[in-house]
Amino acid sequence: MVLHKEEYETSATYEEVGSPLYSNVIPKRHSDKGRKASSAASGVQRYRVGAITLGLLAVVQLVLIIYLAFHMEARNKNLTEERDELKRKLDVLVLKQDSWRAERDNLTSMNSETEGRSRTISLERDELKKKLNTLAQPGWTLFRSRAYYISPTKKSWQESRAYCQSVDADLMIINSREEQVFANSFKLHMWIGLTDSETEGTWKWVDGSPLTTSYWGSQEPNGKTEENCGEIKSFTTERSWNDGTCSLQLNWICEMKFAQ
């Protein structure tokens, strides 16, 4: 729309002059009153535009804050859920690790137990082999699951015992009437595994067990500290034992066990 200069001068109102429509129109004549009114109108206009802009900015800022708050809350919720899930998985892994550790320890102990048993079996097998080789030698007799050796030579009680021990046996221990009768049956003057060397008058077998049932001959034992070793002497009677001088050279009888 084009305004004629003459028209503007006569008919334009105060508000029309202050509006952007008239901004590039230079009035032909300006009075002081008109200039002041125009300047005031322009200031109010700028103030309104500024206020509206600030208001809009505040609204945008508020929307952004609300959006960020929701977004952060959702993100936090997700992170919390993820953390809880990871914690659960970690707990499961820790439990599995504990169970595997226990299983490993169990297997290790079973393994060492098996190794121990295997070593024991090997030792027992070697010992039995050695005993079987010994039994193949002359002089050995089996009686009631035990093996007995009657020596063809003579030695002191201590040397006789050392021989028996060298073949995984010991001097004979008599703890039944059966064995007493069996020992007498060889009709030989020989050492048995009985001594009171440790404490005079307290007779013990070579395995440390005390003497309970005894087969001392009449008036025996009588040698006090001079006679501290047991022997089969009067083998024609059941009560055949005598306490003799330990250094005496006699035959001897060993006894070999196969299980404890």
Binding partner at 158 among Ca ion, ligand 2F8, none, C-beta below 5 to 8 Å by kind: none
- Our CB check for ligand 2F8 shows the closer of 185 and 222 to be 222
Helix (H) or strand (E) holding 253: strand 251-256
**Listed ranges 12-20, 75-83, 91-99, 236-244: which one lies at the site for ligand 2F8 (CB under 6 A):** 236-244
- State the number of binding residues for ligand 2F8 (CB under 6 A): 9
Site string for Ca ion, 201-220 (x = CB under 5 A): -------------------x
**Where do we find the tokens 């820790």?**
94
Under the binding rule (CB under 6 A), the answer on residue 222 touching ligand 2F8 is yes
Report d(CA 235, CA 185) in Å as an integer. 8
Asked whether 251 and 189 are in contact (CB, 8 A), the reply is yes
Asked whether 147 and 233 are in contact (CB, 8 A), the reply is no
Under the binding rule (CB under 6 A), the answer on residue 160 touching ligand 2F8 is no
Q: Which of 151, 228, 240, 242 binds Ca ion (CB under 5 A)?
A: 242
Under the binding rule (CB under 6 A), the answer on residue 255 touching ligand 2F8 is no
**Listed ranges 5-13, 17-25, 147-155, 238-246: which one lies at the site for ligand 2F8 (CB under 6 A):** 238-246
Residues in the chain: 260
DSSP-assigned letters across all residues of 147-204: EEEE-SS-B-HHHHHHHHHHTT-EE----SHHHHHHHHTT---EEEEEE-SSSTT--E
Under the binding rule (CB under 6 A), the answer on residue 227 touching ligand 2F8 is yes
Asked whether 157 and 191 are in contact (CB, 8 A), the reply is yes
Under the binding rule (CB under 5 A), the answer on residue 196 touching Ca ion is no
Please give the residue ranges that form the binding site for ligand 2F8 (CB under 6 A): 220, 222-223, 227, 242-245, 248
